[in-house]
Amino acid sequence: MLFDTFMELDRRVRKASHEDEVCARFMGIPGAGKITALSFKAAEDDPARFKSSRTVGAHFGLTPRRFQSGEKDNPERISHARDSDVRATLYAAANAMLMHSIKWSSLKAWRMRLMKTKGRPRAIVAVARKIPFVLHRMWVDGTEFRLESETAA
């Protein structure tokens, strides 16, 4: 009974993501799957709400939180403001890009360089901040995500 319900929901998600042109484009990013595409599109709903693609990550709480008191100014982890479900799917997509994706892209090359200098957790968060920027630009421009060769990246 529970398995049948799960399979029905999975079928609906698969169908909705493949029938929607925007979601199908979103899934062209390595690591971004059906749930990431649907949740991002549902949460953003209108790309014209944002004047700049750079502000989309901040809308989902993917900005550094700051602790400021007197002379202290310490940047901390992400702020965790707004939609936690979308933030979790963006984090999972960023993690999947490194761990499971074998396709090479400039985004993955950038992440690999960050991982060497800053460490894996910070690199995942940095890419999770970058993915909404890319998704929003793809939605506004109507463009596809382009994979480059490893040497070009």
Q: How does residue 11 score in pLDDT terms, banded at 50, 70 and 90?
A: very high
Q: Are 36 and 132 in contact (CB under 8 A)?
A: no
Where in the chain are the domains? 2-141
Q: Which H or E run includes 67?
A: strand 64-69
Judge whether 29 and 131 are in contact, CB under 8 Å: yes
Report yes or no: 106 and 148 within 8 Å, Cβ to Cβ.
yes
Q: How confident is the model at residue 148 (pLDDT cuts 50, 70, 90)?
A: low
Integer CA distances (angstroms), 103 to 3, 97, 120, in order: 32, 9, 19
Provide mean pLDDT across the span 1-21.
93
* 23, 33 contact by CB (below 8 A): no
Average pLDDT over all residues of the chain: 82
